[in-house]
Every structure is written in structure tokens, then in C-alpha cells.
Amino acid sequence: MFITCNQFTLAKGFTRMDAFMVTFSVVLLAAIVYAGSWIGGEKRRIWVCAHHLQTLGRAFDDYSRDHDGALPAALIDNGTKSTSWDREIAGYLNAKWIKGQAPESQPALAAKIAPIFKCPSDRELHGNANARSYSMTAYDLNRAGWPPKADSTGGLGLSLDERTIAQARAIDAAESPDYRPAIKFSQVTAPDDTALLVEHISILNALWSSKLASIASSHEQFAGKTFAAKDFHGGKMNYLMADGHVELMSPAESAGLMGGVWTIRKGD
């Protein structure tokens, strides 16, 4: 049996409005499923990223146990030695790693641990290099003085060259001639509120490179060229604290009014 509705002949019980509503419902459902899967995927990437940071945090801790409680420098380039924090802790990420040997001499092992240094939400292209999504918070020896004090406004990552090493040696004159300054975990008065590693998204932040191994400000954290900051963790960043836990917050929240988690000053 057929009926006439608005001059269109349709099967009884099924109008064009019904067809439209069915189609609309299917499209809406598909959009919801897609959005849900994207959000769920990004949440998982944030979790994996935090897990990577915790793994790196344990490597820092193991390194410090072998170096009288000291942290590795963010970077050293003094003419005779060139290294960065990722190179220094690499030996604590794989038991087969030969400590003291460069990643270039252990390419198979270097390839195995490379993913730990990359956040899965970091989509910046790096050519033939591996991405490094993290940097140490910078300690400026010239500005903050030496040694670090309880109210220091510096971070935990030293950048050392011949001049800064000579400055520290002049202050620590009793140390041996091969002495290099280092920040110790014991000098951090608020480890639960002091960032050791922060996310640093840039095409120039490449694994095993001293370039961008340290970072001075939250304003420098996102320099992505192929995607926007709002598409990275929903505009937030993961922060590895000196006590080993990870916090997700916006760069503005991390900076705070007095330096936030970027300094070792207690109570920021």
C-alpha cells in the first residue's frame, strides 16, 4: 500500500525524513567513534610518553649512584670532550651497552633504546636523525652562581665549556685538576617540585646531539613546524620531576609566578 506525502510517493512507514534521520544518525555515530578513538589514542600516547620519562628518570638515578650522587651535565663541549645527557645515561638503559663507548660504535643497541627518548606524540620530522623529545632544565652557571644554593633560580642541566669549567674550578680550588662541576640530587631541596626533564619539541632536538640538550624557558618548549601545540597532548606537556614522578601541565602552569618547576628553589 502506498500513501502520498508532500507530493512524494513513499513506502508506507518510511518517509524521506526517516531516511534523512537514519543517514544523519549514522554519520554522527561515525564522527563520535572517530573522535573517541582519536582522544583515546592521544591519552594513550600521553601515558606512553610519561612511561618513557619515568624510564629515563631511573637511568638518571642509576647514573647518580655511580657518580657520587651527581647528575650528568646537560652537555659538555670543552674541546677535549663533547657529550650530552642522553649519551651519558644510555649505558643504564640496556645491560649490554658498553659504558664509555659512543652510540655510534654500538648502532644496534643505540637503535634499541632510541624510542625511549621520543614521545609518541612528537611528529616532527628529523630526516635521518632520531627525535629526542626531552631536554634538561638549564642551569646557567654565570647567572645563578656556583655552587647551587637552596634558593637557586637555575634548573638541573649544566652546560659546560672550557670557560665555565675554569670558573667552577676557581671556586672549588681544592678539587682535583680534572674536576668538572656537577649538580647532585642532594642539592635539590624540593625534588617533587623540580623538573629534571621537560618536553622540548623541535626539529633540531635530535638524539645524541648536544644542541638543545638543555632548555631555559617554558616559552621554548614547543617549536613544532608540522603540527600545532594544541594538537600535542591537548596543549599540555609531561614533566619528569627529580623524585621520579611525572606531571602533565601546561607550559604556563609549569613556569608559575616565581619560576615554577624550572628551578630548585623550594616553594615556587
pLDDT of residue 25: 54
- 214-215/134-139 β-pairing: parallel
Regions of the chain where pLDDT drops below 70: 1-40, 257-258, 266-268
pLDDT of residue 177: 73
Give CA torsion, residues 180, 241, 212, 79, to 10 deg: 10
pLDDT of residue 179: 84
* DSSP code of residue 128: T
pLDDT of residue 191: 94
- What separation, in Å, do the N-terminal and C-terminal C-alpha atoms of the chain show? 78
- 246-249/237-241 β-pairing: antiparallel
pLDDT of residue 23: 60
CB-count exposure of residue 180 (10 Å: 0-12, 13-18, 19+): middle
pLDDT of residue 266: 67
pLDDT of residue 196: 98
What confidence tens digit (pLDDT) does each residue in 133-160 have? 999 999 998 888 899 988 888 999 999 9
pLDDT of residue 4: 47
pLDDT of residue 46: 96
